Amino acid sequence: MNARLRAVGAWFDQRLPISAAWHSQVKDYPAPKNFNVWYFFGSLLLLVLVMQLASGLFLAIHYQPNPHLAYWSVLRGIMNDTHWGWLIRYIHTTGASAFFVLLYLHMYRGIMYGSYKKPRELLWLIGVAIYLLLAAEAFLGYLLPWGQMSYWGATAVVNFVTAFPVIGHPIAEWLRGSFVVGLPTINRFFVFHIFLIPLLLLAVVLIHLIALHQVGSNNPDGIEIHGNVNKSSGWPVDAVPFHPYYTVKDTLGVAVFLLVFFWFVFFDPHAFGLLIDNLNFSPANALQTPPDIHPLWYFLPYYAVLRGVPNKLDGVLAFAFVFVMLAGLPLLDRNPIRSIRYRSLLYKLNILAMPGSFIWLGTIAFGKATEGNMVYGLHVAEMFYLTFWLLPYFNRVRPKWATILWFIVLEAFVWLIDYWMFYTNAHGWDVMLRTDWIPALYIAAMTLPALVVPSLIHDVPKLPERLTAGGLLH
């Protein structure tokens, strides 16, 4: 029996490299020993991707991409009349939010441990592409229930392109397939959501994994595992085989994640309007604009940026610039030390302030669109951008005159933006001065302390070569 099974295996192996792939990519694939809890999110993202594809398949079977039927088919057909439809839909809606929770944590892991540094720059860029695709996927899917927020959210986002002169309006019409969001829009958004973007997403995720296995995983210490091998076995000293060590560890991660995930699915699928917007329980009405049009929680920081910039085109550019900065991280941070563990205190605080200001932006977007709130959002957005722009400052220990120069240039930039808004009558100083201290104080806090206590910008000296990205600066 055993011999016969082996013969069947050999038959397949001669025709498809199953065993070879299993050994090279899983069984004998060296993964660093020292992964911590931040390294669960990659495998969990794969799990959520599969869950979204599976639940989405069943939802697509029962869904009607038609303005007259869409709301009915989701809120009545799927929720009430399809067996287990409510469960499948709640898995899909909770999964969308889980995707972004895990993705933001996964990205932050990369930022903390320098996973975008040599040789993983391309891996990082592919990851940014996945983030973009996922954002598109979430936006397209959000139109499908055809509720008030779906309709007006799609209307507002498609109108971003009208900010561009001359070509803007024709492009918006081309995207919608109509003068307003309507039947052609819901049809194409449905097709993009279930076919085009998932296909691209799967392809890019596969490329992300291939790129990962080409360069190997980074780790919390930033150790390069490939140089340091056991003389007799040739196996990297700092690594363990991916299977069984990380398959059992990731199983634990999956178990914990599913517990939290299904708590939301079964006990609180709406989460006070965080996972499913309350206003989306009203069918789309083209004649009734809701009091404010806001995205779900994962896009709220971007919403605050858009709202903060008085000019629409500038707002769209500022919003798109976040993706440019993310993609540009390997160029901004060129310090050879990978892990945040061996970086200076001020650098650590700056890396903490990056998600801190991003979440802060999200909380501002919860507030009403008053003038004070818009300016407040702009100033916190400036702080968020500054956490990126300060990265080159931390590339090496700067002399005192350079620190002062960085301080002056960044402060001048922040105050010039305010002066420009005052000059164009966008806002008065009385409103702007209320929150101006945020970016101004942040620049001061990140640069000036080093003048008094130079050790605040000193990274750990004489780090072994294998903990660094290898002489990027030398």
Partner 1 sequence: MPGLFRHKGWLAAGVMAATCALAFTGVASATHPANTKPPLKHININLNDTEALRTGAVFFMHTCAACHSLQGLRFQSLASPLHLDDKQVEKLIMVSTRRPLDTIVSPMPETLAKGYFGIEPPDLTDELHLRSADWVYTYLTSFYADPTRPTGANNVVFHNVAMPDVFAHLQGWQSPVMKPGFRFDKPAQIAMGVEPLTKGTMTPEQFDGLAKDLVTFLAYAANPHQQLSQQIGFWVLIGLAIFIVLSYLIYRLYWRDIVMPHGQRWWSYWKKR
Query: Binding residues for partner 1, per CB under 8 A?
Result: 33-34, 72, 75-76, 79-80, 86-87, 221, 223, 237-238, 240, 244-245, 248-249, 251-252, 254-256, 258-259, 262-263, 265-267, 270, 276, 278-279, 281-282, 345, 348-349, 352-353, 356, 360, 363-364, 367-368, 370, 372-373, 376, 434-435, 438, 445, 452-453, 455-456
Cβ-contact 280, 153 below 8 angstroms? no
The CA distance from 217 to 221, in Å, is 11
Pick the closer one to partner 1 by CB: 207 or 258.
258
For CA atoms 256, 258, 260, 263, give the dihedral sign: negative
Pick the closer one to partner 1 by CB: 178 or 289.
289
> Smallest distance from the beta carbon of 408 to partner 1, in angstroms?
23
Pick the closer one to partner 1 by CB: 124 or 407.
407
> Smallest distance from the beta carbon of 8 to partner 1, in angstroms?
29
Q: What angle do CA 253, 259, 260 make, to 5 degrees?
A: 95
> Smallest distance from the beta carbon of 73 to partner 1, in angstroms?
12
Q: Alpha helix locations (H) across 231-370? A: 247-267, 300-308, 312-327, 329-332, 345-366
The tokens for 290 are 């809701």
Cα-flanking dihedrals φ and ψ of residue 335, to 5°? -70, 135
> Smallest distance from the beta carbon of 345 to partner 1, in angstroms?
5
Pick the closer one to partner 1 by CB: 190 or 257.
257
Pick the closer one to partner 1 by CB: 276 or 284.
276
> Smallest distance from the beta carbon of 112 to partner 1, in angstroms?
14
Pick the closer one to partner 1 by CB: 268 or 314.
268
Pick the closer one to partner 1 by CB: 48 or 438.
438
Instruction: State the amino acid at position 226 in one-letter form.
Output: H
> Smallest distance from the beta carbon of 291 to partner 1, in angstroms?
9
Pick the closer one to partner 1 by CB: 105 or 378.
378
Q: Virtual CA dihedral for 424, 428, 431, 434, nearest 10 degrees?
A: 90
Pick the closer one to partner 1 by CB: 185 or 350.
350
The CA distance from 358 to 360, in Å, is 5
Long-range CB contacts for residues 177-184, cutoff 8 Å, separation at least 24 = 180/155, 180/286, 181/143, 181/151, 181/154, 181/155, 181/286, 182/67, 183/66, 183/67
CB count, 10 Å around CB of 287?
4
DSSP-derived 3-state class of residue 190 = helix
Please name which of 120, 446, 84, 397 lies closest in space to residue 265, comparing C-alpha atoms: 84
> Smallest distance from the beta carbon of 138 to partner 1, in angstroms?
20
> Smallest distance from the beta carbon of 281 to partner 1, in angstroms?
4
> Smallest distance from the beta carbon of 367 to partner 1, in angstroms?
5
Long-range CB contacts for residues 27-30, cutoff 8 Å, separation at least 24 = 27/241, 27/242, 27/243, 28/241, 29/213, 29/241, 29/242, 29/243, 30/216, 30/225, 30/226, 30/235, 30/236, 30/239, 30/240, 30/241, 30/242
The tokens for 420 are 């420009």
Pick the closer one to partner 1 by CB: 182 or 449.
449
> Smallest distance from the beta carbon of 80 to partner 1, in angstroms?
5
Pick the closer one to partner 1 by CB: 291 or 471.
291
| Strand-pair partners of 239 | 32
> Smallest distance from the beta carbon of 262 to partner 1, in angstroms?
5
Residue with tokens 């209307």: 155
